[in-house]
Chains A and B, each alone.
Chain A
């Protein structure tokens, strides 16, 4: 991913040149997708959120602060929207099934691939920190701000997660 390319595309978008969107999207979509996937653990829902993030982004492109990480900005939007979707989905499942952990059970049944395995090995916070740091390339400091937890906790949980993955993902590595 090229930060320069992203910034250049952003500036073109601010000028109203929508041709720049393809470059911008291709350079950022994966990080945004995983920002949502880290919360939702569901590919279809993550794609829905992905679309909503970029629609929102385009509608407010002139307000985007170029001095800050665009990727972190998108990841934050994705996370917040994903949390809304998560809570809504969870409520729906609770209503349908009549108990609190229905959503978790409903989702766990589908975990089969690499990221599903990761999800089983790590707790929610560890999983999100790994996704944000490794795929979204966010710094620990940025993650601490995003998750509103101390920097030391991010570093500790990240290291803990890496150890778990090194042991639990051997057959994938």
Chain B
């Protein structure tokens, strides 16, 4: 057989090879899991100094998420929303930054932070009773700094300057946002769109540049509309590599004047979640309920939580109820529930 004949046979044999992967398989994977470059995790390369940058990274991801999700722009382009809600999250982010800023290798700083938090809210033995006024006052005082932080951030809700749209200088991305000196988020129009009668799903590719470091960012937004009820979910992932990333899940639900908003921030190390922070805000008429939760060590089977009700924001009258089961420091879970009822 001559060369051409041999080539023909080889090609025919190649056609017989069954390739089981379909285009749809790949698109499905692409939707949920973008390929990312392998880089050294930012929280390892700058363990402690990254507190501020981590805050920025998370905040901008939130910003773009809010822009995409909560402002319901007609265009495909994510724009930056007035971040009234974002500012509430900054509290979460600051704490997340603090919790995650410790070395991942030994977790010392994270654990130290967790202990400090725990001690702040647990200045007594677990057998102490909650109706001890002096102890209650002390407990409330410990909480106050966190409450003030949240409220202070809420008051500074005009945060537009925090996200400044600039002209993109990266040919791969159409848009850019300056977060701070040296920290820029680049992004494109939606790269993937899937819609049916009730649900619209869009995926965005983005890149976060911090000086010489670059992080892949993916955003997935789903809007579900059913009658008057609109639910928006946004998932933002900031990757250092495929196994190490921070995921921010946000949802906003509106139904007949009632709103429910949640933010969940999770740090994944080697594809296992290490730290989870959740913030919820529910508004019904003039009543607003907020819940703040930090969770470490998902393998810990016990529970540990405080519930604090603030009936009047003008004084420090708190009703503190808590339950405390078997707990160790590394498995601690904190829940701060702040309910405000306006007169």
| A interface residue numbers (CB < 8 A to B) | 16, 18, 21-22, 24-26, 29-30, 33-34, 37, 43, 47, 50-52, 54-56, 58-59, 62-63, 114-115, 118, 130, 134-135, 162, 165-166, 169, 172-173
Contacts and interface: CB of A to CB of B under 8 A. Distances in A.
B23 A34 contact: no
Contacts of B20: 47
A30 B26 contact: no
B188 A62 contact: yes
A43 B20 CA distance: 10
B13 A59 contact: no
Interface of B: 1, 3, 5-7, 9-11, 13-17, 19-21, 23-27, 29-30, 33-36, 172, 188-193, 205, 216
Contacts of B19: 29-30, 33, 47, 50
A25 B26 contact: yes
A15 to B, nearest CB: 9
Main secondary structure of the interface of A (DSSP, over half): helix
Contacts of A56: 35
Given A55-B26, A63-B172, A173-B1, A134 B34 contact: no
Contact of B13 (A29, A63, A115): A115
Contacts of B216: 59
Nearest to B12: A114
Contact of B3 (A22, A62, A115, A162): A162
A134 B23 contact: no
A16 B10 contact: no
Contacts of B16: 114
Contacts of A26: 23
Contacts of A114: 13, 16
Nearest to B203: A18
Q: Closest 9 CB pairs between A and B?
A: A25-B23, A22-B23, A114-B13, A55-B35, A56-B35, A59-B35, A54-B26, A173-B1, A134-B10
B11 A135 contact: yes
Nearest to A162: B3
A118 B10 CA distance: 10
A130 B11 CA distance: 11
Greatest chain A CB density within 10 A among B10, B14, B205 is at B10
B23 to A, nearest CB: 4
B243 to A, nearest CB: 15
Contacts of A21: 23, 26-27
B30 A55 contact: yes
A22 B16 CA distance: 20
Given A34-B14, A135-B10, A166-B1, A59 B34 contact: yes
Given A22-B23, A55-B29, A134-B11, A162 B35 contact: no
